Amino acid sequence: MKLLIVEDNSELSKNMESYLAKEGNTCETAFNYHQAIDKVVSFTYDVVILDLTLPDGDGLDVLKALNKQSSEVGVLIVSARNSLDDKLSGLNFGADDYITKPFHLSELNARIKAIYRRRNFSNKKVIECREILIDLDAHEVFVAQTVIELTKKEYELLIFFISNQNRVITKQSIAEHLWGDQADYYDSFDFVYQHIKNLRKKILAAGGGDYITTIYGMGYKFNTLS
Amino acid sequence: MKLLIVEDNSELSKNMESYLAKEGNTCETAFNYHQAIDKVVSFTYDVVILDLTLPDGDGLDVLKALNKQSSEVGVLIVSARNSLDDKLSGLNFGADDYITKPFHLSELNARIKAIYRRRNFSNKKVIECREILIDLDAHEVFVAQTVIELTKKEYELLIFFISNQNRVITKQSIAEHLWGDQADYYDSFDFVYQHIKNLRKKILAAGGGDYITTIYGMGYKFNTLS
DNA sequence: ACACAACTTCAAATATTCTTCAGAAAAGCC
DNA sequence: GGCTTTTCTGAAGAATATTTGAAGTTGTGT
């Protein structure tokens, strides 16, 4: 999934980024209030990890900005202050969850996944679409009762498809969701083609039907109806 | 849909154009105030993307000109960040939405689509005309309950017809809407004939009636009444 | 440093759509 | 009816988009 890490402590930020990236997420970072605002008004994220104490502004204002645009984004508040006030005001302003420093990265990761699941899959731990079954916790995908091994990108792609099922999604939006900022630097979509091919092949090999339709000149659509 | 990009930064303009064109839109560009005025008084667009800071005039005056001709065109204001005044005056003068630089192209695209949908289809995601049903998200067209596969041009043509239903539209306006500036370089309307033919054939093949009437010497009309 | 897997790039093959052209059909006009 | 103009149609060619396999690169763990 696509994350924004708002954290002024660069070491911690780097740690979080590397851990969360290894878990298969696309991460972007903002180190202060202004960067954070720039990002959240211009890009879309699945979850924003928001430190409330920023050098040039109040993290809560980022949260307020997110509320205004009534977006789908989830927010996990991070704060060193163990003050109950912060926690309450954060949750009052629409944050999804709260974690206090210091924390284990695995704990952070678990909470992010929980937020995402709650928002996108009504807190289900298992998603089922036709013959496809996904265990979000175990990161395991079954097609017609048999497990298929997906790489991180393939898994992310599948999740993205499923959370936009029966809608056309463009190659651009796929690139943005799976590669974040970096998507701009590529000048072809060869890599998207490649991952689509591999995902299709693996689903097919396991006996699954034809889920991913190509909409020539537009993009792709993941069919779960017919 | 047909867009006009008013932006003096040529690199940004080019980026926007290429992205939006790839999304299936017809794009034209204006690099300064005078070009913009020339364009908006001579042609019609679905949405104008308007940078307020232009070298030879005020972007707001373009907006005012658009208001005067009481046209159907939507306006998305683009401006450097933090100029709250710009934002307010833009929205006061009838702009539909506002986006601050820097922004992500997908965000721009999403807002443009939202403006268009709001204006033309009262924000509906599904349009229905007699036996034709269009799912704008899925990019799917049903005729008498069966899906028909349309190419990008055919789809655009259908949308253009439907948003001008029961009105005569000239080949010129079709060419302008689907090909923008490039329309001038063609010396016949053979390509328009061709796409109309294909669209008719596909609707008919799916059991739909006769929607597109030829008005000899004038153009075409898309009938949704009788 | 090595092996391995995943990711990306490249180039060729394939598929689809768009445009052009030429001739046929239809409509308007005398 | 003849004549001109406009529209329609099918087929071929050009252009564009997608798919694919293979090679190259990166990154991870041992």
So what's the pLDDT on residue A160?
93
Name the strand (E) or helix (H) holding B98: strand B97-101
> Can you give chain A as a three-state secondary structure string?
CEEEEECCCHHHHHHHHHHHHHCCCEEEEECCHHHHHHHHHHCCCCEEEEECEECCEEHHHHHHHHHHCCCCCEEEEEECCCCHHHHHHHHHCCCCEEEECCCCHHHHHHHHHHHHHHHHCCCCCEEEECCEEEECCCCEEEECCEEECCCHHHHHHHHHHHHCCCCEEEHHHHHHHHHHHHHHHCCCCHHHHHHHHHHHHHHHHCCCCCCEEEECCCEEEECCCC
CB contact under 8 A, B106 and A172: yes
So what's the pLDDT on residue B155?
95
| Rounded distance in angstroms from the CA atom of residue B24 to the C1' atom of nucleotide D19 | 21
What is the phi-psi region of residue B125: left when phi exceeds 0, alpha when psi lies from -120 to 50, beta otherwise? alpha
Q: Distance, in angstroms, between A35 CA and closest chain B CA?
A: 11
CB B163 within 8 Å of CB B116 = no
CB contact under 8 A, A168 and B105: no
| Rounded distance in angstroms from the CA atom of residue A121 to the C1' atom of nucleotide D25 | 37
So what's the pLDDT on residue B88?
57
Could you read off the pLDDT of B180-210 as tens digits, one per residue?
888 788 778 899 999 999 999 999 999 888 9
CB A62 within 8 Å of CB A33 = yes
pLDDT over 70 percentage in chain B: 93
So what's the pLDDT on residue A142?
92
Taking the alpha carbons of A58, A60, A64, A67 in that order, is the dihedral positive or negative? positive
CB contact under 8 A, B137 and A218: no
Count CB atoms within 10 A of the CB of residue A164.
17
- Within 13 Å of residue A46, how many CA atoms lie on the same side as its CB? 26
Look at residues A74, A82, A40 and name the one whose alpha carbon lies nearest to residue A57: A40
3-state SS assignment for residue B99: strand
Nearest nucleotide to the CA of A21, by C1', is D27
So what's the pLDDT on residue B151?
95
Chain D positions with an atom below 7 A of a protein C-beta are 6-11, 17-22, 28
So what's the pLDDT on residue B159?
93
Per-residue pLDDT of chain B (226 residues; tens, 9 = 90+): 999 999 998 888 988 888 888 888 889 999 999 999 999 888 889 999 999 888 898 888 888 888 777 667 899 988 775 555 555 555 656 788 888 777 778 778 888 988 888 888 877 788 888 899 999 888 899 999 899 999 999 999 999 999 888 999 999 999 988 888 887 887 788 999 999 999 999 999 998 889 999 999 999 999 988 6
Please, what are the averages of pLDDT over each run of 10 residues along chain A (226 residues)?
91 88 88 88 86 87 78 83 59 77 84 87 83 88 91 93 90 88 80 95 90 94 86
Distance of alpha carbon B183 from alpha carbon A36, whole angstroms: 43
The strands making up A26-30's β-sheet, listed across from edge to edge, are: A26-30, A2-6, A47-51, A74-79, A97-100
Q: Which residue of A has its CA nearest to B139?
A: A168
- Reading the block at residue A82, the tokens are 């163990």
3-state SS assignment for residue B62: helix
